[in-house]
Amino acid sequence: MDDRICAGFAGAVGRTPLIRLAGFSEESGCDILGKAEFMNPGGSVKDRAALYMVLDAERRGLLGPGGTVVEGTAGNTGIGLAHICNARGYRCVIVIPETQTREKIDLLRTLGAEVHTVPAKPYRDPDNYQKIAGRMAADMDNTIWANQFDNTANRQAHYETTGPELWEQTGGRIDAFVAATGTGGTLAGVSRYLKEQRRDVRCILADPSGSGLYRYVTTGHPEVVGGNSITEGIGSTRVTANLEGSPLDDALMIPDQEAVTTVYRLLHAEGLFLGSSSGINVAAAMHVARQLGPGHTIVTVLCDGGGRYYSRLFNAEWLAGKGLHA
Ligand code: PMP
């Protein structure tokens, strides 16, 4: 087949553009580059992990024709899995905390996933959404629990695809890579790959308030700092198998208002309609640019599109209720 034509949904995952953010670059004197993961066919960075986890299970004989994929997800992994399940003939069962946006939950149902919304509970609680998903899968035949947090096929997706794409797209001219993390897959996989190419590429975590990972990177122990964040899909109170052992140099904590201001600037001044984790990432890239000084290349991730957050991030009243503003 002509290599300009991709084979189905799976073939269209990855090889996303790397966008130079003009205003942010001009202001900082650095090249601020965003990997356009919202352009994946399922609309987020999680398409890569979802695809790798399904292919890995197929390869290992754990998932056969007519099988079922079960996952606990804040939304984007579930959306990626639901697309892949449709394309490959699997049933998709999703357990999602009821605190996630209506848009993501509605989209999952539209895609045909069987969606179970559950009360948001911390990881230590046996009724945490990830643990419920694990128990559901254990009771079903020809079924896998994708287990994105501790299944390192997730990190492998970024080690084998996102990292090499960034290296190739920049011609190896990367001074720093900075990204927020949920499962750790993106940050761990990309950081490992980049450090293997050049050990002095700085790899930095961007963390929202209420997460424990900033302290994990800076002190070695996960410990929650700050209150609740409005960001979705990022921040964690535990070190997942995917994040464990990542070659990280530093961490930054980004307040919600800075993330929101950055999201609106991306929308109005760069023409990019993105979600809150992209705001955290670009805000963090600007901090790194100020630390390194002009003339450096800083790469980050534009994780998903703003359409998943109309009712919150792009709703002035909702923002005001959280003490935030556009
Ligand atoms: N941004 C968004 C919007 C996400 O949904 C996620 C994944 N939950 C991430 C960032 C973080 O990606 P990862 O799981 O690879 O750390």
Please choose, from the candidates 284, 19, 304, 44, the residue with its C-alpha nearest in 3D space to the C-alpha of residue 176.
284
Torsion (CA) 69, 181, 298, 36 in degrees, nearest 10: 30
Q: Ligand 1 atom closest to Cα of 49?
A: 15
Measured at the CA of 248, the angle between CA 243 and CA 249, to 5 degrees, comes to: 160
Is it the case that residue 1 has pLDDT exceeding 80?
Answer: no
- Confidence tier at 322 by pLDDT (50, 70, 90): very high
Q: Are 219 and 287 in contact (CB under 8 A)?
A: no
Is it the case that residue 68 has pLDDT exceeding 80?
Answer: yes
pLDDT of residue 2: 83
Is it the case that residue 227 has pLDDT exceeding 90?
Answer: no
Complex ipTM = 0.99
- Region of poorest pLDDT, from 99-103, 263-267, 301-305: 99-103
Q: Whose CA is nearest to atom 4 of ligand 1?
A: 233
Which residues sit opposite 31 in a β-bridge?
297
The SS3 assignment for 100 reads: coil
DSSP letter at 39 equals G
- How far from 129 is each of 120, 141, 308, CA to CA, in Å? 7, 20, 20
* Helices of type H across the chain: 8-12, 22-28, 46-59, 76-88, 102-110, 129-138, 153-157, 163-170, 185-197, 213-219, 256-270, 276-292, 316-321
Which amino acid makes up residue 265?
R
Among 40, 46, 281, say which to mutate for ligand 1: greatest number of ligand atoms within 8 Å of CB. 46
* CB of 275 closer than 6 angstroms to any ligand 1 atom: yes
Phi first, then psi, for residue 303 (nearest 5°) are -75, -45
Average pLDDT, the chain: 97
Q: Ligand 1 atom closest to Cα of 154?
A: 15
Q: Could you give the residue numbers annotated as active site?
A: 46
122 CA distance to ligand 1 centroid (A)? 18
Is it the case that residue 290 has pLDDT exceeding 90?
Answer: yes
Q: Ligand 1 atom closest to Cα of 232?
A: 3
pLDDT in tens, 237-268: 999 999 999 999 999 999 999 999 999 999 99
DSSP letter at 60 equals T
Q: How many CB atoms neighbour CB 250 within 10 A?
A: 16
pTM here is: 0.98
Nearest-angstrom CA–CA distance, 250 and 252: 7
Query: Two tokens at 75?
Result: 């939304």
